[in-house]
Amino acid sequence: MSKTFSNRYIFIYSAVLVVVAALILTVVSVSLKPLQTKNQEAEQKQMILKTIGVEATRNNADMLFDQYISVGAYPSVRPDEATEEGVHGSTPLQFYRYDGGIIIPMRGTGLWGPIWGYLALDYNSNVVGAVFDHKGETPGLGGEIASDKFAKRFIGKKMDTQAIHLAKNADHSNPYEVDAISGGTMTSNGVTAMLEKAFENYSNLNIQNTPSTPNTPTEEAREEATE
């Protein structure tokens, strides 16, 4: 350790080290990307299915998704926002249909990173199921939004005239209020903001009271989307 190193050596050494590390990471990241993307897509489908009470595994998610869900795409009301948003790369106004109503995607930011979720509504804007997930919220605190316990609090709430928000000691009879996560205030605020945004998008869709015949609205939606 008594050997001395010149500044020149130190600079070159660190530069080479960093470039080598970057090269290795790039190669690995690019080569594993397809597998990771596949996992993420399957997970997204699992989440969507879960909002309507269908438990899917990573393997049968594709099949069950095609069986229960159809993708509805309304033209984006604000196309400028469509591209910069989205954890999984979908546009904000994309939504999904099941035979009892629609499922709206939500995206937002928590304390440490992105949070997202899906809300299944019937045609009267009652929540029939919800699911949330996050990239890196603190486990046990903000990370609790991903738990079933938290998601279940949303069932029976409403998204008709205003968005659902999270509150401390929420009034359970209030259809727009859900108990926040204790110890996860920042994440809870993120969820509230996300719900508001989702509500705004959902109102723009203007399909709250579309008749509950499963396939026709989807057809219309597709036609409208292609126009």
Partner 1 sequence: MKNFDLIKLPFSKENPILVQVLGVCSCLAVTAQLKPAVVMSLSVIVVVMLANLIVSLLRNTIPPRIRIIVQLVVVSTLVVLVDQVLKAYVYDVSKQLSVFVGLIITNCIVMGRLEAFAMVQKPLPSLLDGLGNGIGYSVILITLGFVRELFGSGTLWGYPVMEKLGLYEIGYENNGLMIMPPMALILVGLIIWWHRSRNKDLCEK
CB burial of residue 154 (10 Å; 0-12, 13-18, 19+): buried
Q: Which is nearer to partner 1, 19 or 63 (CB)?
A: 19
By C-beta, is 59 or 169 nearer to partner 1? Answer: 59
CB of 58 to partner 1, least distance (A): 7
Angle of helix 61-68 versus helix 7-51 axis, rounded to 10:
50
| Shortest Å distance, C-beta 194 to partner 1 | 19
CB 129 within 8 A of CB 151: yes
**83: its two tokens:** 């591209």
Which is closer to partner 1, CB of 13 or CB of 152?
Answer: 13
Minimum CB separation of residue 24 from partner 1 in Å reads: 6
Shortest CB 134 distance to partner 1, Å: 8
3-state secondary structure of 221: helix
103 forms beta bridges with 96, 120
**Least gap, CB of 162 to partner 1 (angstroms):** 33
Nearest to partner 1 of 10, 63 (CB atom): 10
- 79/140 with CB nearer partner 1: 140
Name which of 89 and 156 has its Cβ closer to partner 1.
Answer: 89
Q: What is the DSSP string of 54-85?
A: ----TTTHHHHHHHH-EEEEPPPSSHHHHTT-
CB of 48 vs partner 1, minimal distance in Å: 17
Closest contact distance (angstroms) between CB of 14 and partner 1 is: 6
Considering the complex, state which of residue 32 and residue 63 has its C-beta at the smaller distance from partner 1. Answer: 32
- Residue ranges binding partner 1 (CB under 8 A): 1, 3, 5, 9-10, 13-14, 17-18, 21, 24-25, 28-29, 32, 35-36, 39-40, 43, 58, 112, 135-136, 138-140, 143
Residue 14 structure tokens: 């660190």
- HSE-CB for 44 with a 13 A CA cutoff: 22
**Cβ-Cβ contacts under 8 Å for 156 (sequence gap 6 or more):** 126, 127, 175
> 3-class DSSP state for residue 112?
coil
* Helix, coil or strand: residue 86: coil
Segment (H or E) for 49 = helix 7-51
